[in-house]
Amino acid sequence: MSAVILQDEIVHYEVLGRGRPLIFLHGWVGSWRYWIPSMQAASVTFRAYAIDLWGFGDSTKDQSRYTIEQQVNLIDNFLDKLGIGRIALVGHGLGAVVALNFAAAKPEIVDRVMAVGFPLDGNQVNPRLRTATPVELADWLLGRIPAAESARVEAPKADILAVQTSLNNLQNVDLVDFSAHIVTPCLFVHGQNDPAITPPQVEDNTNLPEHTHQVIFEQSGHFPMLDETSKFNRLLSDFLSLQSGESPRQLQLKEEWKRRVR
């Protein structure tokens, strides 16, 4: 277990591998732990960090730190504390919101972002996310596959106020306009069967900036990194292999996967 003291409070994180820095940020259910398969895949060529945000996992529970702004500051302070420079970010749910907000604030630091389960429209967020307890959310959103246990066992550690505060913050943001103004190359990933964040009806990239791309996992729910792990990790590897500044649209992801999995 690794931890740093930021603003006199504990932030828990784990790290694997060597190479360029890559930061994984968890969502509203679970903690850093469900990123382990993706961290292992990425650690061949990257130094992969996974952080517990304020109010989750083994990081400090303090409701004054639960706003999206404070979570973004956590990332900024974490990088400064560890002396980490230019990074790639992979965020899921809440982590995707934090990652994109950080990229918007610090485009000179963030090389690229993979945003999994990011609500491109505020109406895509199921109201149940705001009312259920972390344990109830885990029962609702996690399947029965063994890989899901890593998120399920960590769910009770979350402070429900950390979930609710971040979701309340989203109500004040025009997410479509916000995502359209991100200048960092960004890949949006959705699970077709996600009950928490309603996915787009089709893979329609026409309304997205040229440096962004959108991919839907047809057999996944809220956790595509657990539901279709090998496919998710291939996508992650392809995305991370792009040249700095290169648009993810060049990947032609769907056709490539079909050839690979036959």
Confidence of residue 19 (pLDDT cuts 50, 70, 90): very high
Confidence (pLDDT) at 123 = 77
At residue 103, does pLDDT exceed 60? yes
Mean pLDDT, the chain, as a whole number? 90
Confidence of residue 82 (pLDDT cuts 50, 70, 90): very high
Angle at 46 between CA 151 and CA 29, to 5 degrees: 15
Count of the separate structural domains present in the chain: 1
At residue 148, does pLDDT exceed 70? yes
Q: Determine what percent of the chain is predicted with pLDDT higher than 90.
A: 77
Confidence (pLDDT) at 204 = 59
Q: What domain range is 70 assigned to?
A: 2-261
At residue 25, does pLDDT exceed 60? yes
pLDDT digits (tens, 9 = 90+) for 224-246: 999 999 999 999 999 999 999 89
Q: Which token pair is 201?
A: 């009806």
CATH number of 38's domain: 3.40.50.1820
Q: What is the dihedral of CA 159, 161, 167, 173, to 10 degrees?
A: -120
Confidence of residue 205 (pLDDT cuts 50, 70, 90): low
Average pLDDT over residues 162-185: 84
Confidence (pLDDT) at 203 = 63
Confidence of residue 127 (pLDDT cuts 50, 70, 90): very high
Low-confidence winner among 16-30, 136-150, 245-259 (lowest mean pLDDT): 245-259
| Burial (CB count <10 Å: 0-12, 13-18, 19+), residue 89 | buried
Average pLDDT over residues 191-215: 83
Average pLDDT over residues 136-155: 93
At residue 98, does pLDDT exceed 90? yes
